[in-house]
């Protein structure tokens, strides 16, 4: 009888532990989904894709996390044409924060200028399609090569598309200080995916 009661109590404890684990996982999923929706709303996107464009005020404090969990860094806070972007930051600080500026060009997908900490725009040299001399961070005006579209893949994950239709790639999924970014991808695979969150 004691063994039977012990087994019954053990089964109850296991059942309660399983219920708590399921509840915790569902709360984490809800929190992640809420954060993704909040970022999508801030930058004018529906979680499933772009909505009809309207002017969005600057969206500040945006960080771009690579596939392997590192953050994009605008070296020196911007203003460079060499050693422009690193992808090895394990946590974000000022150089990892960007401001998204709506280009207001009236396209069906909102194109953004990605502004560095010191107010410079990222430039996809040649409009994209490169594996060397890929990105500059010294532009002071939002011209064609400074326009990027954030393509929502759901749950706060985005691909970054250049003006000529290529995608930015974090080489090796991130974690690099040289040969960090390419702009020649024509398909979205793992290294072209970035977790984007704003308001930091």
Domain span holding position 167: 40-197
Instruction: Compute the distance between CA of residue 196 and CA of residue 140 in angstroms, rounded to an integer.
Output: 23
Could you tell me if residue 84 is inside a domain? yes
**In the numeric block, which tokens belong to residue 11?**
């089964």
How far is C-alpha 36 from the geometric centre of its chain's CA atoms? 10
Task: From 100, 48, 72, 78, select the one nearest 194 (Cα to Cα).
Answer: 72
- Find the mean pLDDT for residues 84-112: 95
Does position 115 have pLDDT exceeding 80, yes or no?
A: yes
Could you tell me if residue 103 is inside a domain? yes
Could you tell me if residue 87 is inside a domain? yes
Lowest mean pLDDT among 29-43, 65-79, 129-143, 182-196: 29-43
CATH number at residue 80: 2.80.10.50
Does position 7 have pLDDT exceeding 70, yes or no?
A: no
34 or 80: which leads in pLDDT: 80
Q: What's the number of domains the chain is made of?
A: 1
Q: What is the DSSP letter of 108?
A: S
Could you tell me if residue 24 is inside a domain? no
Q: Percent of the chain having pLDDT more than 70? A: 72
The H or E element that residue 160 is part of is strand 157-161
Could you tell me if residue 193 is inside a domain? yes
Could you tell me if residue 102 is inside a domain? yes
Check: CB of residue 159 under 8 Å from CB of residue 36: no
CA distances from 36 to 15, 65, 105, 113 (A): 32, 13, 25, 21
């Amino acid at each position: 009888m004691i063994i039977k009661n012990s087994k019954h109590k053990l089964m109850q404890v296991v059942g309660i532990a399983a219920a708590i684990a399921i509840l915790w996982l569902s709360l984490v999923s809800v929190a992640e989904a809420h954060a993704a929706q909040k970022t999508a709303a801030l930058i004018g996107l529906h979680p499933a894709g772009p909505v009809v464009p309207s002017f969005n005020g600057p969206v500040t404090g945006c960080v771009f996390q690579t596939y392997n969990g590192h953050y994009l860094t605008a070296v020196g806070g911007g203003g460079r044409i060499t050693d422009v972007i690193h992808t090895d930051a394990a946590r974000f600080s000022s150089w990892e924060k960007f401001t998204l500026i709506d280009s207001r060009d009236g396209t069906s997908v909102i194109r953004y200028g990605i502004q560095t900490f010191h107010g410079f725009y990222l430039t996809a040299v040649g409009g994209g399609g490169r594996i060397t001399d890929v990105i500059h961070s010294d532009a002071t005006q939002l011209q064609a090569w400074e326009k990027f579209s954030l393509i929502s893949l759901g749950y706060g994950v985005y691909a970054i598309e250049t003006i000529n239709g290529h995608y930015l790639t974090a080489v090796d999924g991130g974690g690099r200080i040289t040969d960090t970014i390419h702009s020649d991808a024509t398909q979205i695979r793992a290294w072209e995916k970035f977790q984007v969150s704003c308001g930091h």
